[in-house]
Amino acid sequence: MIAKLIVKNIFRARLRSLLTLIGLVIAVLAFGLLRTVVDAWYAGSDMASANRLITRNAISLTFTLPTYYRERVRAIDGVTQVSLSSWFGGIYQDPKNFFPQFAVTLPTHFNLYPEFLMPPEQMDAMLKDRTGCLIGRTLADNYGWKIGDKIPLQGTIYPGTWEFTVRGIFDGKDDGTVTRQMYFHWDYLNERVKQGFPRAADRVGVFVVGIREGDRAAELSAAIDAEFKNSLAETLTETEKAFQLSFVAQTETIVAAIRLVSFVVIIIILAVVANTMAMTVRERVAEYATLKALGFAPGFVVALIFGESLTLTLLGGALGMVLSFPVIATFKSFVGSIFPVFRLSEATLWWQFGAVVVVGLLAAVLPAIRSARIRIVDGLRHVA
């Protein structure tokens, strides 16, 4: 009986209930979208492996390291592989067509990143082509590139026109793996640099260091940095996650603001639902008094109000959660160049559900207390 009463009560004031539902749907959508933006900001660090370290110049990333450091790093006990990696920063047709490009040592670099999946024959073709490149699936889909296509880039850090041939397209092991980058041979980059800027040759941006045991990351980082202490180019070694988070830290204020706004949205919709429930209870004081006069306990009235509040918020929340998928997919088509991984996570869905339940419970607290305390005589007098 109580379930039937709850459903009928919700739609007695149809316009008010409809407006409240619309507000709930919009709030849940906005909350999910903002949480997804925050998740996308951290996508690179979430992909980081505990078995990878990044060694860079201790002064700044803008300063390079000599390549002969690689052998000394590789000789440290616990290190398995070392890959060179330099940011290229080329322009494809227009500066707005931004995507990461790295000169790396192959196949070592891909051995360090097992989450990148690619047919062996494509890697073989890449190793045979000095000017070949490997691109991620997302990048290939964005620009319609396929195996054998030529990609001309205008150098910024390394001047000149550079043309690469697509020799492989790699996928991610899951949809959380970033596949919007391009890799090519570091040796090819170094050869061109030797021809035009000899003094800048045999230098690298960072070393990607593979280690045998992830729980030794701090120890091995200290060992690598100690190896080059008091040298002309001292190093700073950190976990890949810490390295990625250092970029996020530069925009931490923005991320914090987005987080704050996401919770403000929930507070606003709490006020809307609470107002709806307060109006509902105020209109039905006489009805609740009548129920008490007929022998129903105050707990029944309280259950009725909480049930109505929760049913209303869960209905609006469910619609908002369902609509989050197409809305976020549409939003991704506009921000794909900024956020390579933009997806509604399971954690965000739980956040949405939890927020809806909390709003439903809190919005009913005061109205329920008021209805439970009202006396039968006062309630019946209220209608008069």
Residue 87 pLDDT > 90: yes
CB atoms closer than 10 angstroms to residue 222? 11
Tell me what pLDDT residue 384 has: 41
pLDDT in tens, 146-186: 999 999 999 888 988 999 999 999 998 887 788 889 999 99
Question: Using CA atoms, how far apart are residues 365 and 80, in angstroms rounded to an integer?
Answer: 60
Tell me what pLDDT residue 39 has: 76
pLDDT in tens, 305-323: 787 788 888 888 888 889 8
Least confident range from 187-191, 263-267, 291-295, 356-360: namely 291-295
> Look-up: residue for tokens 């699936």?
137
> Look-up: residue for tokens 């709003």?
359
Tell me what pLDDT residue 47 has: 67
pLDDT in tens, 34-62: 888 877 776 655 666 778 999 999 998 88
CB atoms closer than 10 angstroms to residue 1? 6
Q: Name the residue ranges covered by the structural domains of the chain.
A: 2-43+251-383, 59-233
Residue 217 pLDDT > 80: yes
Question: Using CA atoms, how far apart are residues 170 and 104, in angstroms rounded to an integer?
Answer: 15
Q: What is the mean pLDDT of residues 7-19?
A: 73
Residue 326 pLDDT > 90: no
Helix 252-283 crosses helix 240-249 at what angle (to 10 degrees)? 70
Question: Using CA atoms, how far apart are residues 101 and 153, in angstroms rounded to an integer?
Answer: 10
| Predicted TM-score (pTM) above 0.75 | no
